[in-house]
């Protein structure tokens, strides 16, 4: 597993407005299937060039779904305000694990920065997938994995 902490995490211990806007934009831009496929490959192919700061896929999925819900149920201004103040947006409902992250300010910040680093690395991942396809390797997807697993 690649351990890359977002480049600004140790220095600023917070989000810049532009980073919060980028996180919102990326969460609204990329489809859930794309994120799940990338996450699946991140944990199942060591050479996948994605910024991975999670120990297991469940941690990643909890983080993704948490911030995806926030972006889906708020405006950009509300999302940015919540991220910058590390507050819990009232327009979205969260499960127990997600609330545990949101209530722990340091973990909230850490997970948001980890997800931003992951999303920022998606362009490298897409280039990597294109190279694999050019060599005849099929793209592995989370959906394909689920179908194989359930038979």
Q: How confident is the model at residue 11 (pLDDT cuts 50, 70, 90)?
A: very low
Q: How far is 132 from 67, CA to CA, in rounded Å?
A: 30
Whole-number pLDDT of residue 91: 85
Tokens 């592995």 belong to residue? 140
Please determine, for residue 88, whether its predicted confidence score (pLDDT) is greater than 60.
yes
Q: How confident is the model at residue 46 (pLDDT cuts 50, 70, 90)?
A: confident
Burial 52-64 (b: 16+ CB within 10 A, else e): bbbeebeebbbbb
Please determine, for residue 100, whether its predicted confidence score (pLDDT) is greater than 80.
yes
Whole-number pLDDT of residue 142: 60
Please determine, for residue 50, whether its predicted confidence score (pLDDT) is greater than 80.
yes
Whole-number pLDDT of residue 133: 85
Domain extents in the chain: 22-150
* % of the chain exceeding 70 in pLDDT: 82
Mean pLDDT confidence for 61-74: 96
Please determine, for residue 85, whether its predicted confidence score (pLDDT) is greater than 90.
yes
Cα first-last separation, the chain: 28
Q: Which residue has the higher pLDDT, 147 or 116?
A: 116
Q: Which residue has the higher pLDDT, 1 or 34?
A: 34
HSE value, Cβ hemisphere, 13 Å, CA-based, for 135: 7
Whole-number pLDDT of residue 45: 86
């Amino acid at each position: 597993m690649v351990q890359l902490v977002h480049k600004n995490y140790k220095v600023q211990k917070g989000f810049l407005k532009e980073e919060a806007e980028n996180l919102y934009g990326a969460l609204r831009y990329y489809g859930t299937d794309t994120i799940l496929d990338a996450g699946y490959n991140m944990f199942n192919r060591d050479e996948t060039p994605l910024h991975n700061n999670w120990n297991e896929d469940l941690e990643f999925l909890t983080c993704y779904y948490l911030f995806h819900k926030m972006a889906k149920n708020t405006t950009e201004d509300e999302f940015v305000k919540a991220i910058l103040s590390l507050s819990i947006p009232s327009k979205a409902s969260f499960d127990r694990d997600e609330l545990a992250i949101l209530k722990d300010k340091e973990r909230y910040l850490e997970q948001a920065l980890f997800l931003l680093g992951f999303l920022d690395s998606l362009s490298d991942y897409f280039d990597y997938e294109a190279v694999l396809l050019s060599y005849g390797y099929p793209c592995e997807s989370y959906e394909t994995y689920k179908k194989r697993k359930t038979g």
